[in-house]
Amino acid sequence: MRVIDRIFGFIMATVIVVGIGCLGLEYVLLKGPSPDLAQSFAYTMFETRRFRWIPNIFLTQDEVNELQALRNKQPETVFDPSLVSIKTEEVVAAASGDENALNKYGDVDEDGDGIILENITGNGYVGYMIKVLDPKRVFISRGGSAYPLAEQCIANNALGGINAGAFLDEHGGGNGDNPDGVTIIDGKIISVGHGGDCIAGLTEDGLLVVGWFTAEEALGIGIKSCVSFGPILIANGSPLDVESSGLNPRTAIGQRDDGCILMLVVDGRQVHSYGATYKDLQDIMLEYGAVNAFNLDGGSSTTMWYNGAYVNSCSSANGIARPIPDAFLFR
């Protein structure tokens, strides 16, 4: 019994020391001399399901509210559809190696399937970009309940896709059955949202629309399907203010001026990739020529699937892809 007691005492002492050390580190990060570091740490915690309470240990509620207000602030934008001219045949021809076709984006579609997967590396993160040359191949899926991305792809005969919008998680269990915000699938309103939400949607012609809309407004301008999340990263060719965010797994979608859809995921909360900020996503999308781009649900929801396998490394605690209510897929 003495041996067991000593082992138990050692374990408890280690836990206490580690706990005190973590609290000390958190205090230095939040109350230290660097406001930028404090904000980055706080936003990283806010954006997690399991640790969003941590900033409240050392920050007053007024300080938390101030940080949250900065994070959610974004100017209103009016979507301009004229900036995108869908040129599927020209884009596909250029990517296939046709010497007579000009492509300023340098697309190379080696297998000729109209889908291009590229690896991305940045300062502390690893990501993946899928280019869907024909935007009409992209659609938003929605089942009767939540399923992991792979199952959604298989059920819809899709080659691949990424996770999409927000969902209600009242008990913190990661159950994504009920989408949050304005959600429309194939012209049917699934969720009315909150009287106007930040959405990313698709029209019948493959135009990606980003902005603030009610469900009725979205249908009125020809949006066939949409999900809610945010913030908007790029609107009408201009980057928006997205400085207030931490390092986390990220998912985003964008569109170039020739119609090509850009699907982006960045791994996070792992040794090989700490995560990305909204600004990192914005910079990547700008580099790839996006004229409109939108941040989707991230964290443990961040997943990309293509050609029968997950492309990225899921950050969930058990390493298993989380059930999600909807996804941007392509056939």
DSSP SS3 for 122: strand
168: burial class by Cβ within 10 Å (0-12, 13-18, 19+)?
middle
End-to-end CA distance of the chain: 63
Identify the CA nearest to 47 among candidates 311, 215, 278, 206: 278
Whether the predicted pLDDT of 85 surpasses 60: yes
CB neighbourhood size of 220 (10 A): 10
Average pLDDT, whole number, for the chain? 84
| Mean pLDDT of the 30-35 span | 56
CA 233 to chain centre: 11
Q: What is the pLDDT of residue 5?
A: 47
| Mean pLDDT of the 56-84 span | 69
Identify the CA nearest to 247 among candidates 29, 32, 28: 29
138-196 pLDDT, tens digit per residue, is 999 987 788 999 999 999 999 999 999 999 876 556 667 789 999 999 999 999 998 88
Q: What is the pLDDT of residue 178?
A: 87
Q: What is the pLDDT of residue 218?
A: 97
| Mean pLDDT of the 89-111 span | 79
210-219 pLDDT, tens digit per residue, is 999 999 999 9
For residues 137 and 330, give the distance between their C-alpha atoms in angstroms, rounded to a whole number.
5
Q: What is the pLDDT of residue 15?
A: 45
Structure confidence at residue 21 as a pLDDT band (50, 70, 90): low
Strand partners, 65: none
Strand partners, 324: 147
- CB–CB of 246/278 below 8 Å? no
Q: What is the pLDDT of residue 6?
A: 47
DSSP SS3 for 110: coil
Residue 228: both structure tokens together: 């809610």
> Which residue would you say has higher pLDDT here, 297 or 42?
297
Structure confidence at residue 93 as a pLDDT band (50, 70, 90): confident
User: What's the one-letter identity of residue 103?
Assistant: N
Region of residue 206 (phi > 0: left; psi between -120 and 50: alpha; otherwise: beta): left
Residue 180: both structure tokens together: 């949050």
242-254 pLDDT, tens digit per residue, is 877 889 999 999 9
Return the residue matching tokens 């929801």. Answer: 301
